[in-house]
């Protein structure tokens, strides 16, 4: 009898210790101070200012969607932003050489780099979209059968359209010289849908005040990169991006430029 | 003992035959002697191990024959599963069919993991109508240990190129750790290692004579990055060419030594980043480098301008190659040929130095037509780049003709139609749409 009650006590004790450990693990921890995350006292952001409308350089200034995003993130942490402009070749090395704290430069997750950097959640998806009239929306490859698809000749959309032609019932193809022509073909009723990248689509819709159905068919997510050993910085940036998304700041920045 | 001998013969055959024995039409035999010697030693070690295990096996086999039977079945099944994996045996000897032998591409095969991808890439090159590739053969990969050569990474490229009927222009570079100071970059070639590189180039030239008769010495030495982050030094590069020239010709009398393609850049004298390619070539000639190369490699990119755009000293465009050729004709008779080993346009949708995909195709085809009509001194126009082993996930991917995962981009078909003289009169794209009336 005594042995049984001792066993019961031991089981209860083990359960209590386990519960305590789980509880402690999941207790909200205070976020490190910005100065701990960015030891230089400023947020050093590597950008490639040769990609409008994401980042562009003039003689003495930088502007674009990614510049605004960098400033919004720096504001969130209460630090000044310092942008380090460089070509694509130097972006990842700038983290390794401690020339920058993070990279915001139309990066796509590169599996070969995941041993060196951590990627945050994405701030934009530049994948291919199907653009069609609101009253006759086409949302996927399957729905294209028997319709006419416009796209830019030689582009990734062209490559994808050629692949689709081998996979689904025939549809008519309408290659154009520019993505804006492919979108005009839908707007003017010469095609049922256009397959273009999301940036071209958003710019065209905005320029022509055109309400159209827009559905992603591929994804090209742009995340932020930080050095792999800066886990706290990575977590803090993820939280900051989530907050900017939730409070509408990210959407306002995207809408400003696209 | 009989079982041990049987297993030994099986294992020895397995070790000896795996990946060996490809003899190509030029007589190049793979693999090399060192690899064969290594395999023989491995087989002998196997024999010794088997004899030692023999007495134990004899008693054990009788007691546990059921387990040995199961192991045997498992070994057979696993070996058969292994055979399903992708392999790249050489097929029938191919010949390139092209009406425009000026068409050439720069490949990126040395970092390719799978041999079948090398083979598939080269098949696509041949089917596109290019009869020559430019490929990088890093010294650091092949002679990572001094005087020990691992030719396999180069062999597998050369044997498949030869099998596809392709000629190879080889680019040399990247210094192994033993030949340069500690903490220096792979592009740092100290002057006291010039002869070491020359010996490697001579070995390379002798080994692949007949398939590789064009060798480029170094890459873009007018950039600080490519010169080991040292001050730009055309005279030092001239001495490098001098060190390589005689040993390479002694090893293969037919070899054509090409001076490195220079990076198209406007960097002024004294810049820490590099030196204007026009100035660099001039200084290379003034340092006597012209005596130690048989042809000039040129890098010229169109960026956002069409191929016919006028060249200028302070402007980067396709016809900048003419300015480099003018320097050649100024310093010598001008009968040395030129190989453009990197050229092309980029069609990234956002990069400021890119054009639209349709423009890229048009400019590329126009460039082929232009050089055939106007540049008799040009031997090959090699497009950068046919395919990368892995995507960069940025604008460099938009130089590709075929993607890393073998998606064939429309420019491939346009070049193929040009090379095979199949160009029709049909328009490639529709006219700009008009509002419906």
**Domain limits for position A179:** 128-216
> Mean pLDDT across chain B, nearest whole number?
89
Query: Which chain B residues are closer than 8 Å to A47 by Cβ?
Result: none
Contacts A–B by Cβ distance under 8 A:
90
> Could you give the CA distance from residue A194 to residue A186 in angstroms, rounded to a whole number?
6
Question: Do B112 and B78 share a domain, yes or no?
Answer: no
* pLDDT of B53 above 90: no
Q: Is A177 on the interface with B (CB under 8 A)?
A: yes
Alpha carbons B1 and B54: distance in angstroms, whole number:
6
Nearest residue of chain B to residue A200 (CA atoms): B349
Q: What is the DSSP string of A87-148?
A: -HHHHHHHHHTTS-SEE-SS----GGGTTTEEE---SEE--EEEEEETTS---SSGGGTTSE
Which of A56, A162, A188 lies at the smallest CB-CB distance from B434?
Answer: A188
Helix, coil or strand: residue B21? coil
Which position has the higher pLDDT, B160 or B17? B160
Q: For residues B324 and B281, give the distance between their C-alpha atoms in angstroms, rounded to a whole number.
A: 7
Q: What's the total number of domains in chain A?
A: 2
Q: Are residues A116 and A38 in the same domain?
A: yes
Residue A54 contacts B where some CB pair is shorter than 8 Å: yes
The burial of A210, by beta-carbon neighbours within 10 Å (0-12 exposed, 13-18 middle, 19 or more buried), is given as middle
Facing A185 at nearest CB: one of B360, B392, B433: B433
Q: How confident is the model at residue B20 (pLDDT cuts 50, 70, 90)?
A: very low
Say if residue A118 is in the same domain as residue A134.
Answer: no
**ipTM of the predicted structure?**
0.79
B91 within some domain: no
CATH number of A96's domain: 3.40.190.10
Residues of chain B found within 8 Å of residue A92, distances taken between Cβ atoms: none
B23 pLDDT above the threshold of 80: no
The domain that holds B241 is classified in CATH as 3.20.20.80
pLDDT at residue B18 tops 80: no
| Nearest C-alpha in A relative to B433 | A185
- Per CB-CB distance under 8 Å, the chain A contacts of B429 are 153, 175-177
Closest residue in B to A112 (Cα–Cα)? B390
- The answer as to whether B436 is a domain residue is no
Tell me which chain B residue has its CA closest to the CA of residue A54.
Answer: B350
Residues across chain B: 437
The CA-based dihedral angle spanning residues A97, A101, A105, A110, taken in that order and rounded to the nearest 10 degrees: 70
Residue B403 lies in a domain: yes
Binning pLDDT at 50, 70 and 90, where does residue B30 land? low
Closest C-alpha to B237, from B215, B216, B260: B260
A190 Cβ under 8 Å from any chain B Cβ: yes
- Check residue B334 and give its pLDDT: 67
Does B28 reside within a domain?
Answer: yes
Residues A182 and A163 in one domain: yes
- Quick: pLDDT tens for B173-193: 999 999 999 988 899 999 999
- Cross-chain CB nearest to A159 (options B361, B396, B407): B407
Judged by CB atoms closer than 8 Å, whether chains meet at A50 and B349 is answered as no
Q: Give pLDDT, residue B195.
A: 97
Task: Count the residues in chain A.
Answer: 258
The reply to whether B62 and B138 lie within a common domain is no
Examine residue A18 and state whether it is found in any structural domain, yes or no. Answer: no
Quick check: B38 pLDDT over 70? no
Whether B329 has a pLDDT exceeding 70, the answer reads yes
| Pair (B234, B314) in one structural domain | yes
pLDDT tens digits for chain A (258 residues)?
567 788 888 899 999 999 888 888 777 767 789 999 999 999 999 999 989 999 999 888 999 999 999 999 999 999 999 999 988 888 998 898 898 999 999 999 998 899 999 999 999 999 999 999 999 999 988 899 999 999 999 899 998 998 888 887 789 999 999 999 999 999 999 999 999 999 999 999 999 999 999 999 999 999 999 999 999 999 999 999 999 999 999 999 999 999
Asked whether residue B366 falls in the same domain as residue B330, the answer is: yes
Q: Does A221 reside within a domain?
A: no
Percent of chain B with pLDDT over 90: 73
Q: Which two tokens stand for residue B430?
A: 């529709």
Same domain? B391 vs B274: yes
- Number of domains forming the structure of chain B: 2
- Shortest distance, CA A74 to any CA of chain B (angstroms): 25
Q: Are residues A44 and A115 in the same domain?
A: yes
For residue A227, give how far its alpha carbon lies from the nearest alpha carbon of chain B (Å).
18
**Chain B interface test: which of A104, A112, A154, A199 (most B C-beta within 10 Å):** A154
CA distance B59 to chain A (A): 51
The answer, yes or no, to whether residue B277 has pLDDT greater than 80, is: yes
Q: Are residues B170 and B264 in the same domain?
A: yes
Read off the DSSP letter of residue B297.
Answer: E
Based on the fold, state whether residues B118 and B239 are members of the same structural domain.
Answer: yes
* A189/B351 touch (CB, cutoff 8 Å), yes or no: no
Per the CB < 8 Å rule, is A106 touching B358?
no
Q: Are residues B16 and B129 in the same domain?
A: no
The answer, yes or no, to whether residue B411 has pLDDT greater than 90, is: yes
Instruction: Please state which of the ranges A142-146, B55-59, B238-242, B361-365 shows the lowest mean pLDDT.
Output: B55-59
Domain boundary among B49, B84, B119: B84
Domain end, chosen from B27, B56, B84, is at B84
CB A226 within 8 A of CB A114: no
Asked whether the beta carbons of residue A158 and residue B356 sit closer than 8 angstroms, the reply is: no
Those residues whose C-beta lies under 8 Å from the C-beta of residue B12, and which sit 6 or more positions away, are B43, B46, B47
| Inter-chain residue contact A197 with B349, CB threshold 8 Å | yes
Examine the domain organization and report whether B11 and B113 are in the same domain: no
**Which segment, B7-16, B50-59, B336-345, is predicted with the most confidence on average?**
B336-345
Is the pLDDT higher at B53 or at B251?
B251
Dihedral, CA of residue B123, residue B126, residue B132 and residue B134, to nearest 10: -40
Residues of B in contact with A154 (CB under 8 A): 347, 356-358, 360-361, 409-411
DSSP state letters, A49-73: -EETTTEEE-SS-EESHHHHHHHHH
Vertex B390, ends B387 and B395: CA angle to 5°? Answer: 75
Residue at B214 is within a domain: yes
A168 at interface of B, judged by CB pairs closer than 8 A: no
With vertex at residue A227, the alpha carbon angle to CA A226 and CA A232, rounded to the nearest 5 degrees, is 75
Q: How far is B321 from chain A (nearest CA, A)?
A: 24
Q: Do residues A118 and A236 share a domain?
A: yes
* A114 and A82 in a common domain: yes
Q: Are residues B162 and B40 in the same domain?
A: no
Same domain, A117 and A240: yes
- Is some CB atom of chain B closer than 8 A to the CB atom of A199? yes
Q: What is the pLDDT of residue B25?
A: 47
The answer as to whether B154 is a domain residue is yes
Interval B131-173: pLDDT, tens: 999 999 999 999 999 999 999 999 999 999 999 999 999 999 9
Indicate the pLDDT class of residue B43, thresholds 50, 70 and 90: low
Q: A192 — contact with chain B (CB < 8 Å)?
A: no
Q: Do A206 and A177 fall into the same domain?
A: yes
How much is the pLDDT for B357? 94
Closest residue in A to B352 (Cα) is A50
Which chain B residue has its CA at the smallest distance from A179's CA? B356
Q: Is residue A249 part of a domain?
A: yes
- Indicate if A153 and A137 belong to the same structural domain: yes
For residue B215, being part of any structural domain is answered with: yes
Whether B285 has a pLDDT exceeding 90, the answer reads yes
The pTM of this model reads 0.78
CB contact under 8 A, B432 and A153: no
User: CB distance from A185 to chain B under 8 Å?
Assistant: yes
Residue A236 and residue A170 in one domain:
no
pLDDT of res. B55:
67
Residues forming beta bridges with residue B256, ordered by sequence position: B214
Q: Would you state the pLDDT for residue B36?
A: 53
CA distance A248 to chain B (A): 25
Highest mean pLDDT among A90-99, A186-195, B58-67, B86-95: A186-195
Q: Indicate the residue of B357, B390, B391 with minimum beta-carbon distance to A154.
A: B357
In this structure, the strands spanning A193-197 and A128-133 are antiparallel
Nearest to A225 by CA among A125, A117, A106: A117
Are residues B184 and B80 located together in one domain of the fold?
no
Same domain, A82 and A133: no
Best mutation site among B433, B436, B437 for testing chain A: the one with the most A CBs within 10 Å?
A: B433
Question: What range does the domain containing B55 cover?
Answer: 2-84
Strands (E), B28-115: 103-106
**Alpha carbons A75 and A244: distance in angstroms, whole number:** 11
Residues of B with CB under 8 A from a CB of A: 347, 349-353, 356-358, 360-361, 390-396, 403, 407-411, 428-430, 432-436
CA-to-CA dists, residue A187 to A181, A212, B27, B436, angstroms: 10, 9, 63, 9
Question: Is residue A188 less than 8 Å (CB to CB) from chain B?
Answer: yes
pLDDT at B84 over 80: no
Q: A191 to chain B: nearest residue by CA?
A: B433
Would you call B349 and A52 a contact, using CB atoms and an 8 Å cutoff?
Answer: no
Q: Do B114 and B72 reside in the same domain of the chain?
A: no
**pLDDT value at position B157?**
97
- Please identify among residues 88-107 of chain A the ones whose CB lies closer than 8 Å to any CB of chain B: 88, 106-107
CB contact under 8 A, A154 and B394: no
């Amino acid at each position: 009898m005594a042995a049984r009650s001792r066993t019961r006590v031991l089981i209860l004790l083990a359960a209590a210790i386990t519960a305590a450990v789980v509880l402690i693990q999941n207790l909200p921890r205070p976020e490190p101070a910005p100065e701990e995350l960015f030891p230089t006292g400023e947020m050093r952001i590597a950008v490639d200012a040769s990609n409008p409308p994401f980042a562009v350089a003039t003689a003495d200034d930088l502007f674009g969607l990614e510049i605004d995003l960098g400033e919004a993130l720096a504001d969130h942490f209460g630090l000044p932003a310092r942008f380090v402009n460089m070509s694509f070749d130097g972006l990842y090395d700038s983290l390794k050489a401690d020339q920058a704290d993070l990279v915001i430069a139309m990066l796509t997750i590169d599996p070969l780099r995941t041993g060196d950097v951590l990627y945050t959640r994405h701030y934009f998806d530049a994948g291919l979209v199907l653009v069609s009239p609101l009253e006759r929306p086409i949302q996927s490859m399957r729905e294209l059968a028997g319709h006419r698809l416009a796209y830019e000749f030689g582009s990734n959309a062209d490559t994808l359209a050629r692949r689709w032609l081998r996979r689904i019932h025939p549809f008519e193809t309408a290659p154009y010289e520019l993505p804006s022509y492919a979108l005009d073909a839908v707007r003017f009723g010469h095609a049922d849908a256009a397959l273009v990248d999301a940036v071209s689509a958003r710019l065209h819709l905005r320029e022509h005040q055109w309400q159209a159905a827009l559905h992603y068919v591929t994804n090209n997510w742009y995340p932020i990169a930080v050095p792999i050993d800066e886990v706290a910085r990575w977590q803090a940036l993820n939280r900051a991006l989530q907050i900017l998304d939730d409070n509408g700041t990210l959407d306002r920045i995207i809408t400003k430029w696209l | 003992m009989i079982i041990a001998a049987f297993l030994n013969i099986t294992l020895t055959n397995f070790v000896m035959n795996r990946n060996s024995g490809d003899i190509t039409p030029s007589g190049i035999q793979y693999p090399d002697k060192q690899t064969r010697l290594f395999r023989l030693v491995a087989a002998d070690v196997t024999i010794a191990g088997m004899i030692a295990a023999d007495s134990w096996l004899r008693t054990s086999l009788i007691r546990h024959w059921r387990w040995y039977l199961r192991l045997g079945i498992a070994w057979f099944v696993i070996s058969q599963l292994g055979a399903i994996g992708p392999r790249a045996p050489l097929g029938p000897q191919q010949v390139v069919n092209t009406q425009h032998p000026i068409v050439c591409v720069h490949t990126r095969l040395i970092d390719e993991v799978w041999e079948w991808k090398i083979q598939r890439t080269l098949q696509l090159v041949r089917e596109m109508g290019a009869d020559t590739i430019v490929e990088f053969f890093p010294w650091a990969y092949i002679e990572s240990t001094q005087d020990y050569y691992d030719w396999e990474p180069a062999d597998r490229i050369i044997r498949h190129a030869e099998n596809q009927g392709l000629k190879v222009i080889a680019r040399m570079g990247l210094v192994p750790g033993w030949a340069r100071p500690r903490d220096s970059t792979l592009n740092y070639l100290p002057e006291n290692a010039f002869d070491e590189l020359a010996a490697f180039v001579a070995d390379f030239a002798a080994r692949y004579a007949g398939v590789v008769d064009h060798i480029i010495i170094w890459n873009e030495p007018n950039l600080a990055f490519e010169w080991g982050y040292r001050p730009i030094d055309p005279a030092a590069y001239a001495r490098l060419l001098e060190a390589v020239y005689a040993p390479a010709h002694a090893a293969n009398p037919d070899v054509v030594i090409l001076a490195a393609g220079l990076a198209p850049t406007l960097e002024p004298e004294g810049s820490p980043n590099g030196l204007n390619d026009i100035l660099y070539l001039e200084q290379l000639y003034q340092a006597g480098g012209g005596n130690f190369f048989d042809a000039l490699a040129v890098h010229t990119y169109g960026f956002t301008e069409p191929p016919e755009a006028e060249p200028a000293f302070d402007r980067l465009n396709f016809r900048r190659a003419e300015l480099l050729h003018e320097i050649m004709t100024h310093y010598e008779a001008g009968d040395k040929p030129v190989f453009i080993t990197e050229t092309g346009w980029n069609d990234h949708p956002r990069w400021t130095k890119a054009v639209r995909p349709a423009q890229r195709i048009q400019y590329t085809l126009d460039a082929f037509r232009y050089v055939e009509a106007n540049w008799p001194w040009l031997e090959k126009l090699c497009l950068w780049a046919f395919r990368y082993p892995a995507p960069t996930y940025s604008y460099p991917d938009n130089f590709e003709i075929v993607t890393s995962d073998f998606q064939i981009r429309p420019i491939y078909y346009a070049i193929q139609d040009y090379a095979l003289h199949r160009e029709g009169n049909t328009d490639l794209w529709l006219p700009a749409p008009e509002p419906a009336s």
